[in-house]
Amino acid sequence: MARFGRRKDNPEARMSLGGHLREFRNRAIVSVIAILVGCVVGWIVYQDVYDFLKQPITDIAALHPGSNIDVNFNGVTAPFNLKLKVSMWIGFIVASPVWLWQIWAFLVPGLTKKEKRLGRIFIGAALVLFAGGVYMGTQTFTNAVELLLGATPDNASNLPSATEYFSFVTRFILAFGLSFMLPILLMALNVLGILSGRMMLKGWRFAIIVIATFAAIMTPTPDVWTMFLLSAPLLVLFYGSAGLALVLDKIRGRREAKSRPEWMEISDDKASAL
């Protein structure tokens, strides 16, 4: 792996194993410090995040005044543990640009120009798609929580564990964010030559079944609209990825045709000039 800068005594800018280890250590330290700073920020804004994630329960409790619906902290240390856990999640997310950049900066010297260009495109697209998925998850989990807790009978109590509730919410939102990164996986397989655009389109029935099943599991609501909110964007992303893969396949085919020797284009029945 090479450094960005080159010196006269080291024109290829090669690093020793010890140099790689020192660089890895330094970048790891920067990443950890950034995450710790993000955790401090998360600790400060914890109450606002807590109120936002708990809002569905607050709304359900207002609609069912005869029922006792609220989160429950089991144990003396439970509130502190939850605050620490949520703050760590916030810190990890807030510091993501820093530690992602540190990973990229550590790997990029050993990549070719083409790999660097593709890497930037994939990382940028992944961040945008993940953010879009997280936003969609925050809009959808409200309906899911209201449906599940809305079945609580009047004059009854429903006191879910605060730890379990917030774990469910964070996993729910994270699942949306990761699912929106489907095009990244498909395009990576296409660039590697494993999955072509035609193969994607041929498997459209299977893709629809998988997406619909995933949407039904992640949106446990009786209305079709909530399921549509997740399945429709995923279908658009799938077909968009297939279309882009077809374009890349054609470009790749043209380049291979141009680089192919002329004698390979001559028919077996035709005599060559040789």
pLDDT surpasses 60 at 172:
yes
- Clarify whether residues 142 and 160 are in a common domain: yes
Q: How many CB atoms lie within 10 A of CB 16?
A: 8
Instruction: Report the pLDDT averaged over residues 263-272.
Output: 56
**Are residues 121 and 92 part of one domain?**
yes
- Compute the mean pLDDT over every residue in the chain, rounded to the nearest whole number: 81
Tell me, yes or no, whether 237 and 165 share the same domain.
no
Same domain, 232 and 147: no
- Shared domain for 72 and 146, answered yes or no, is yes
41, with CB counted inside 10 A (0-12, 13-18, 19+), is: middle
| Domain final residue pick, 180, 215, 250 | 180
| pLDDT, mean of residues 110-135 | 81
What is the pLDDT at residue 269?
Answer: 59
Domain that holds residue 35: 15-180
- Tell me, yes or no, whether 187 lies in a domain: yes
Residue 199 is predicted with a pLDDT of 92
Between residues 179 and 261, which one has the greater pLDDT? Answer: 179
- 180, 206, 236: which is the final residue of a domain? 180
In this structure, the answer to whether residues 35 and 142 fall within a common structural domain is yes
Q: Are 162 and 73 in contact (CB under 8 A)?
A: yes
264 within domain boundaries: no
Q: Number of structural domains, the chain?
A: 2
User: Which string of DSSP letters, residue by residue, matches 81-117?
Assistant: HHHHHHHHHHHHHHTHHHHHHHHHHHHGGGS-HHHHH
What would the pLDDT profile of 27-84 be if each residue is shown by its tens digit?
999 999 999 999 999 999 999 999 999 998 888 888 878 778 888 898 889 999 999 9
What pLDDT was estimated at residue 176? 84
**How far is 119 from 124, CA to CA, in rounded Å?**
8
Report yes or no on 132 lying in a domain. Answer: yes
172 shares a domain with 84: yes
Q: Do 160 and 28 sit in the same domain of this protein? A: yes
Give the span between the Cα atoms of 188 and 195, in whole angstroms: 9
Mean pLDDT, rounded, for 186-207: 88
In a domain, 6, yes or no: no
Q: Is residue 263 part of a domain?
A: no
